[in-house]
Chains A and B, each alone.
Chain A
């Protein structure tokens, strides 16, 4: 496997650039302060990235942020979807992350059991 292979991705992507351009529709913001990492936030982030890759979710990005002041509910994930309230998920795990991808990001219905806050 070589980095040159990235050029093939570029050639394919540039053909359907209209699909990939523009701001992401979904931003998954993961709390990666020290206590978040200690609670497993890195594995949660990996699960989101893995699902984005597998499901080919070109409109979704993952970003990280420092602590969120809710240490008892970590790992914390905020789902920012364009024109929708921000949904905050707490006590996330690898499996819960994959479920949030399938049900909320792909199908549009938040996984209410894991929601700890909704804000405009």
Chain B
């Protein structure tokens, strides 16, 4: 269902939004020496009780509300564990949730990274006034973007401004274009 890393991140990001987060930190890193791909999404949203979290982790959770919060969690856990990685979810009611997944990078079934540029752009410009921070480091590509830092340059101009969207498309595209050896 979610066949690439970008879509897993997008799903975790939406979970954080649905949890009412004011601040969301997204991280994706490749560590060649440890042969590990790791990702995490950390939010300060409403968090989950231990029972709720266990149900989400196992995929037994079905919300009666319209939100499909958490449906992607078991998919990510299975993908990570299948690729000799690990999955963890740490949450505290009222404090927030952190989801972390790792994969053995050389595993043949490791999901492709996908269209990270589109995912990162959408996280920055559709978050309304929320704080969003993105840390990405893979294959010689490095990207660090933080909406607080962007707001310092932009003043009262919102991140949803069309000119800002064009700028960020180019900025992210430039940093994610694979560097020639």
**Given A45-B122, A53-B162, A66-B66, A1 and B157 contact (CB-CB distance below 8 Å):** no
The residue of chain A having its C-beta at the shortest distance from the C-beta of B71 within the complex is: A34
Chain B interface, number of residues (Cβ within 8 angstroms): 44
Across the interface, name the chain B residue whose C-beta is closest to A41. Answer: B10
Q: Report A-chain residues with C-beta under 8 Å of the C-beta of B171.
A: 1, 3
Which segment, of A11-19, A77-85, A108-116, faces chain B? A11-19
Secondary structure type dominating chain A contacts: helix
Looking across the interface, which residue of chain B has its beta carbon closest to that of A57?
A: B162
Count, chain A residues at interface, CB 8 A: 42
Q: Answer whether A53 and B154 are a contact pair too, CB < 8 Å, given A33-B67, A34-B11, A38-B1.
A: no
Q: Mark A76-112, 1 if CB is under 8 A from B, else 0.
A: 0000000000000000000000000000000000000
Distance in Å from the Cβ of B159 to the closest Cβ of chain A? Answer: 10
Instruction: Please report B residues at the A interface, Cβ cutoff 8 Å.
Output: 1-2, 6-7, 10-11, 14, 17-18, 66-69, 71-72, 75, 115, 118-119, 121-122, 125-126, 128, 149-150, 153-158, 160-167, 169-171, 174
A residues near B, CB below 8 A? 1, 3-7, 9-10, 12-14, 17, 20, 24, 32-35, 37-38, 42-43, 45-46, 49-50, 52-58, 61-69
